[in-house]
Amino acid sequence: MKKKIFALMILLALTMSSVCVNADTNKSKSDNSAEAESATEKETLKKDLMVLFTSDVHCGVDQNFGYIGLQQVIDQTKKTDCHLMLVDNGDSIQGEPLGTMTEGEADITLMNALKYDIAIPGNHEFDYGMDRFLELVKMADFPYISCNFNKEGKLVFDPYIIKEFDGVKIAFVGVTTPKTLISSTPKYFMDENGKFIYGFFQDNSGKALYDAVQQATDDARKEGAQYVIIMGHMGNEAACEPWTYADVIANTTGIDAFLDGHSHDCDKVVMKNKNGEDVVRQACGTKMNGIGWLKISAEDGSVDTGLYSYNNDLSASELFGLENEMTPELKEATDELNERLEEVVAHTDVELTINDPEEVEDGKPVRIVRRMETNLGDLCADAYRDQAGSDIAFVNGGGIRSNIAEGDITLNDILKVHPFGNMLTVVEATGQQILDALEWGSRVTPGESGAFLQVSGLTYEIHTYIDSSCTSDDEGMFTGVGGEYRVKNVMVGDKPLDPEKTYSIASHDYMLLNMGDGYSMFKDCEVLQESVKLDNQVLIDYIVDTLGGNIDSETYGDPYGQGRIVEFEDTGKEADHKIN
């Protein structure tokens, strides 16, 4: 065991050295106001305070450091005879089957075992619904804080918590990005009439948010806090403006350090606040590939931050053979997960297929979901449109990976259909962009393409006798259509697609936000809902909640689908199901 601990200590020393080379030049003394300076003169720490923090764990409890590695870091830090805290900056309970199948409970149980001191909600804490999130808050042995999460203007949680060490008061202020309203499920923040009753002080100027942070900071100072630490889930992405960490720091005073999440980066940044004073911001990655730290020095009262970094195919516990008090906790959680995977959650009267039900090649079924419509393709696309409330929905054939056999459906069956962890997203696009997407997805039909689109809410024809004239750049991204479209007669409901009209499209972030499969035509579209929930959760919720747990043969009985995609192999000649 000593060898194992020693190995991890060497690892941590190496990773810490890589992020702390210029630590002295980035120290930020707690001198943001005359009140703080005066308070510091009254009390000083007798030993250092170390705050370890996680963010965007996304259920990666056994990945990278994992929670066993985190416990090891906690144990080693305790040996330095410092004050120690553990906090989380949101998006902990969603992102893997462990969260999906327990609706976050397993993650909260593990966080309780780790003895977290404070947490804040990230945008994905709400993915199981508002009622469920508030249930999970009650299960937690640690408090949630937020200075901007409110119901009809009244804060849901305390805006800050003050911790006291050696007579020195340190305030922790929570703040969550207002982008949550579209990056989780919007209806979770509404009443039964569709009116938003929950919010995050999301005015377009950002002022309401800055005022909330400033108010919490000022109030904490008035209570005697000598240091104010922001626990944020704000991120650095341009799409999050005017609510990024940089926006908040630049428009406030009195903050000593900003511990941040949401954008999955590991950056340390020192920037000026509203008064021109230095504030340090530190992030710590995702899926436990980083553990952030903040140190308040007993020697000179300075504030510094850094990162323990780990990114390996093998988790720290596997690589170093680590065992500690979190080992049995994690085993219990994963054993329960494996049992839950075999739980029956629904039933289907028909086989839902990605293969041709008749054709066999070399003794194996022939896959057709990447070149023509199937009933499973219809089901997956319907799930996206239903859960998003959009006009239409697309699912790329390459993202539908496994059949669902007739009979009982287990959770594992559904997770095998969508194994990639893509997220439900909705954008607004023109009819022309939709036509371009259909053309791009059909450019090699009747050959296979992972980009081939299964659809809901529309129908279209592919005239395969017309050569594709799609063009692309060197990176394989769509750039245009140079000749006649092979996709024709596109109907949205019972009306022809209007190239000038805008429609809401549901799919996943891989295609709509990240240009997966070369779908660049959507890159500048307005995002209506961003990364709302996992693709497999979309399918589960549709089957269980909307369909009542049973997939009937009347709706999805034809393995070749409902005729949403019709292929023509010659002028005026419709192809049969086996077009090759």
- Residue 353 and residue 334 share a domain: no
Rounded Cα–Cα distance for residues 566 and 427 (Å): 26
Tell me the three state secondary structure of residue 36: helix
Mean pLDDT confidence for 420-440:
94
**Residues 329, 313 share a domain:** yes
Residue 460, H or E segment: strand 458-463
If asked whether residues 189 and 234 sit together in one domain, one would say: yes
The answer to whether residue 580 is domain-embedded is: no
Task: Give rounded-to-5 percent helix, strand, coil for the chain.
Answer: 35, 25, 40
Domain with residue 287: its CATH number is 3.60.21.10
- The pLDDT of residue 474: 67
Give 41's pLDDT tier (boundaries 50, 70, 90): low
Stretch (H or E) spanning 332 = helix 326-341
| pLDDT for residue 261 | 96
Q: Is 476 inside any structural domain?
A: yes
Using pLDDT thresholds of 50, 70 and 90, give the confidence band for residue 439: very high
Query: 334 and 360: one domain?
Result: no
- Whether the per-residue pLDDT at 377 is higher than 90: the answer is yes
Question: Looking at the domain assignment, is residue 290 inside a domain?
Answer: yes
pLDDT: which is higher, 414 or 52:
52
Side by side, the strands of the sheet bearing 49-54 are: 28-29, 302-309, 290-296, 49-54, 83-88, 118-119
Q: Quickly state the pLDDT bin for 114 (edges 50, 70, 90).
A: very high
Q: Which residue has the higher pLDDT, 432 or 3?
A: 432
Residue type present at position 21: V
Q: What is the DSSP string of 282-307?
A: EE--STTSEEEEEEE-TTT-EEEEEE
Spell out where 177-327 has E strands: 198-199, 227-233, 257-260, 268-272, 278-283, 290-296, 302-309
What token pair was written down for 506? 């549901």
Choose from 92-101, 208-217, 402-411 the range with maximum mean pLDDT. 208-217
Asked if residue 377 and residue 232 are part of one domain, the reply reads no
**274, exposed or middle or buried, with CB in 10 Å at 0-12, 13-18, 19+?**
middle
* pLDDT for position 95: 79
207 falls in which pLDDT band (50, 70, 90)?
very high
What distances in angstroms separate CA 9 from CA 15, 115, 290, 412, one per listed residue?
Answer: 10, 22, 15, 38
Residue 467 lies in a domain: yes
pLDDT in tens, 524-537: 999 999 988 889 88
229 and 101 co-located in one domain: yes
Q: What percent of the chain has pLDDT over 70?
A: 91
Residue 408: give the domain boundaries.
342-574
User: Under a CB-based contact definition with an 8 Å cutoff, are residues 516 and 473 in contact?
Assistant: no
Q: How many CB atoms sit inside 10 A of residue 363's CB?
A: 5
Q: Which residue has the higher pLDDT, 33 or 132?
A: 132
292 and 366, same domain (yes or no):
no
Residue count of the chain: 580
Question: What is the model's pLDDT at position 500?
Answer: 96
Full DSSP string of 375-411: HHHHHHHHHHHHHHT-SEEEEEGGG----B-SEEEEH
Quick: pLDDT tens for 229-261.
Answer: 999 999 887 778 899 999 999 999 999 999 999
What digits encode the pLDDT tens for the residues 309-339?
Answer: 998 888 999 999 999 999 999 999 988 888 8
- Between 25 and 522, residue with greater pLDDT: 522
Domain CATH code at residue 450 = 3.90.780.10
Cβ burial of 176 (10 Å; 0-12, 13-18, 19+) is buried
pLDDT in tens, 58-95: 999 999 999 999 999 999 999 999 999 999 999 999 87
Whether the pLDDT of residue 20 is over 70: the answer is no
Question: Does 119 have pLDDT greater than 80?
Answer: yes
Residues 274 and 375 in one domain: no
- Report which residue type is found at 494: D
Domain tally, the chain: 2
pLDDT tens profile 269-280: 999 999 999 999
Residue 468 covered by a domain:
yes
CA distances (Å), origin 303, targets 98, 268, 470: 36, 13, 56
- Confidence grade of residue 572 (pLDDT, cut at 50, 70, 90): low
Residue 292 has pLDDT above 60, yes or no: yes
Q: Is residue 579 part of a domain?
A: no
Amino acid at 59: C
Do residues 63 and 94 both lie within one domain?
yes
Q: Does residue 490 sit in the same domain as residue 563?
A: yes
Residues 536 and 397 in one domain: yes
pLDDT per residue as tens digits for the range 335-358:
888 888 888 989 999 999 999 998
Q: Is residue 100, in this structure, part of any structural domain at all? A: yes
Task: At 69, give phi and psi (nearest 5°).
Answer: -65, -40
Q: Give the end of a domain, one of 290, 311, 338.
A: 338
Does residue 15 have a pLDDT over 70?
no
| Domain end (from 338, 372, 398) | 338
In a domain, residue 25? The reply is yes
Last residue of a domain, one of 311, 338, 365: 338
The pLDDT of residue 288? 95
pLDDT at 575: 60
- Kindly state the tokens that stand for 41: 């003169």
Tokens of 142: 């640690």
Q: Is 398 found in the same domain as 303?
A: no
Write down the pLDDT at residue 359.
86
CA distances from 545 to 342, 346, 549, 551 (A): 19, 10, 7, 12
- Higher-confidence residue of 5 and 125: namely 125
Percentage of residues of the chain with pLDDT beyond 90: 69
Q: What is the pTM of this model?
A: 0.73
pLDDT, average across residues 556-561: 96
Helix (H, G, I), strand (E, B) or coil at 499: coil
pLDDT of residue 390: 97
Per-residue pLDDT at 85: 98
